[in-house]
């Protein structure tokens, strides 16, 4: 296979994945946007967590809310945080308690009833995202999971699952960031009437 074939195959796979997301997940995506909008409208906060590339996606989506999603959409900053961003907390908790607790410990510190936890796990089996979801539920927070494949162990744990129907991590992550952007767009429209 030559390099152009490699590139075109990935682009076509990405397009097909997004078509499948459009055909099967649109109601869940809109619902996630509505849940996030309601949480923020009530003055609550959104917490994001994930590992590896999902960690970057968590930080990316949180930044879109704190700063702004669309250039030119001037609005107030929205309370969102990525639990993957503080290296001191991550390393201290990993050392003192174990990596499984790095997000749950932060949920216990920052989360409160009515807040929202969005956990990203392409496999659905990330132990620290599972622990964070359990901690959030105990606190009375709302929960959304961005998953892939069959949803893994996280499937059914959150209030709402968005499961990308693919096994390839890259296709799942591309779809997760697209869905994160759509949710940001819904929030800016719902709260500020910005398109």
Torsion, CA 160, CA 165, CA 168, CA 170, rounded to 10? -60
Q: Are strands 142-148 and 46-49 parallel, antiparallel or unpaired?
A: unpaired
Least confident of 25-29, 64-68, 71-75, 76-80: 71-75
Q: Which residues are annotated as a binding site for substrate?
A: 51-53, 64, 95-96, 121-123, 126, 173
State if pTM tops 0.75.
yes
Residues 6 or more apart whose Cβ sits within 8 Å of residue 69: 181, 184, 185, 187, 188
What per-residue confidence (pLDDT) applies to 1? 75
Q: Which residues are annotated as a binding site for Zn(2+)?
A: 60, 64, 173, 181
Q: Which residues are annotated as a binding site?
A: 51-53, 60, 64, 95-96, 121-123, 126, 173, 181
What per-residue confidence (pLDDT) applies to 155? 98
Q: Superfamily assignment of 45-192 in CATH?
A: Glucose-6-phosphate isomerase like protein; domain 1 (3.40.50.10490)
Q: Residues 92-97: what's their mean pLDDT?
A: 97
């Amino acid at each position: 296979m030559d390099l152009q074939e490699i590139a075109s195959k990935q682009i076509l796979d990405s397009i097909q994945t997004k078509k499948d997301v459009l055909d099967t997940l649109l109601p869940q995506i809109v619902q996630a946007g509505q849940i996030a909008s309601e949480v923020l409208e009530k003055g609550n906060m959104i917490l994001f967590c994930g590992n590896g590339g999902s960690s970057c996606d968590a930080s990316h989506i949180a930044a879109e809310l704190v700063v702004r999603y669309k250039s030119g959409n001037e609005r107030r900053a929205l309370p969102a945080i990525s639990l993957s961003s503080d290296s001191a907390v991550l390393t201290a908790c990993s050392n003192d308690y174990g990596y499984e607790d790095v997000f749950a410990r932060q949920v216990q510190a920052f989360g409160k009833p009515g807040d929202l936890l969005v956990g990203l796990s392409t496999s659905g089996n990330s132990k620290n995202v599972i622990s964070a979801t359990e901690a959030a539920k105990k606190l009375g927070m709302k929960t959304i999971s961005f998953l892939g494949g069959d949803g893994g162990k996280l499937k059914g744990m959150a209030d709402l699952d968005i499961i990308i129907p693919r096994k390839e991590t890259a296709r799942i992550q591309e779809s997760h960031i697209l869905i994160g952007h759509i949710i940001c767009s819904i929030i800016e429209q719902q709260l500020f009437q910005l398109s």
